[in-house]
Chain A
């Protein structure tokens, strides 16, 4: 039941976001996004926005596009339930939207409260009109985000990359 070998996929994903000219990175923290968030904060050309709830992220990135900038929303699968209504706006206006979602409630989950939303994540996103790319192989994360970014920003669509819990790893509260 081991997680996949840890590789530093965050650096490659960050490069992809920079190449896609992402200027606003909105996030509700998750352990799996720790490195990406740090890199976004450290980059002078990126405006990091920490949110009280993921629904704010869909709204701020809609505004980013309206103002001529690209953005990305980083969140955990438990936050996906918070964005569904706001996705109606992005859908009606056909705003490009790139979401990177780290999964909980699946591979080796220890917290039963995470399981319902984690198991429903893919289905509810698709029901809301989001194109979902799931990735469980660390070496494929960056290229998946690259494809998702193109589909979002060039193809003008809402796209979510679900990064499997097997890749992200378990949460160990003792460390």
Chain B
């Protein structure tokens, strides 16, 4: 696998890696056909504390050079993925990302360009949703909540900017008003200057494209310092952990997650309990995604071993066993997973949560395939 494990992304990177480790440990405990065991080879794609596409590409090459590697889980970031996809595509090895959400990785002309070495073959899959699915779901949720006048802020990074773009487009299309937009600079600590400016527009809510640590947490917190504490705040699946930074001030935050309501999914509950028992900490924002991605990869490898007469399968044989339709869906903590021809999850579900009294509560979900 390839993930950012040091520097600013370390905490999400490590909790994501733990999701992978848990899935591998469980598969080994249940026994692998042919007497094989799965192992995790963890490579870090940060350089000097920043996730780095060059390092990601180099790591993927290292993994591909090792014949015993049959599938790659990762990367975490979209621009790292853009550097890796051409290489995994060329090598014909399965790659599943838990979290790279940028549309262009699987969709349209951009994705076709990334696959130009083997245009007929797609090796890149992701268990997370795309920016466009999440952004348009968020726009619908906002209007359901009677929030009509939005001010949009993003962290000016891949995930956040794309999410904010889609939200702005769909929110306007559905009849909402975008009062203004702003991007924040890296390393910003003071958001009061920005908030004072937004205050003048009198919005119903602020939509934030980004993660808790790229500014979401501080933005929500500092809203109280300029007398905007009562305003609603909304974001995507980058901010479910916002209460850890904003504490009680997180109340009034809405966020979306690309999975069915976790409370009604037994697999999700089992996963959370098993994760806590093994690592002694709460699940990270992408631990379940990583677990699911690894489950899918393991399932494909195990089936390939079976069809290959319990012998080591080739990478192409593993690729052929990736679930493509309802019949061979893999049951995961984030719902049943199979992929469409682009490599995105079929039957995506987006859920809306709100934070009340410092705790997340489920509000509604949207089935996007309908």
Decide whether A and B assemble into one complex. Answer: no
